[in-house]
Amino acid sequence: MKKNNIINEWLNENNDPVIERLVKRNLAIANKVRNILDEKGLSDKDLAKMLNKTPSEVSKWLSGTHNFTGKSIIKMELALDKRLLHVEPVKEYVHLGIIPGTMKQAINEYTENNYQEIMPSKIG
């Protein structure tokens, strides 16, 4: 916990919101990895072997002071078979306007019209 106090003091002195968010995110990732290791009954050394890294490097990662790259996060996710970060997929919506009848009827009508437009040229 002494290291966290040093980090908090540094953040308070420097007051950079970007760095503060980065440090907090790195600490959260490190804590999540630590919890997953505990759940799976694995040690830092085990994770180091799984990642083909030295135990000292993994220890640095899990201290929360390491700046994780996307690649290192994905390597840990694959090794631990757990997601460390969750990003919402982008959803695209198409506005069709007012649809008379039910959605099912509109889909069937669209499919039938599309089918008729495409198929005759392929048959003939």
pLDDT score of 5 more than 80: no
Give pLDDT tens digits for 32-88: 999 999 999 999 999 999 999 999 999 988 887 788 899 999 999 999 999 998 888
Domain boundaries in the chain? Answer: 2-80
Q: What percent of the chain has pLDDT above 90?
A: 38
- 91 or 36, which is more confident? 36
Q: How many CA atoms lie within 13 A of 9 on its CB side?
A: 6
DSSP string, 88-116: PPP---------SS-HHHHHHHHHHHHHH
pLDDT score of 90 more than 90: no
Answer CATH for 2-80 from 3.10.20, 1.10.260, 1.10.10, 1.10.3470: 1.10.260
What's 65's DSSP letter?
Answer: -
Average pLDDT, the chain: 80
| Cα separation, 66 vs 7, whole angstroms | 12
Cβ atoms within 10 Å, residue 32: 16
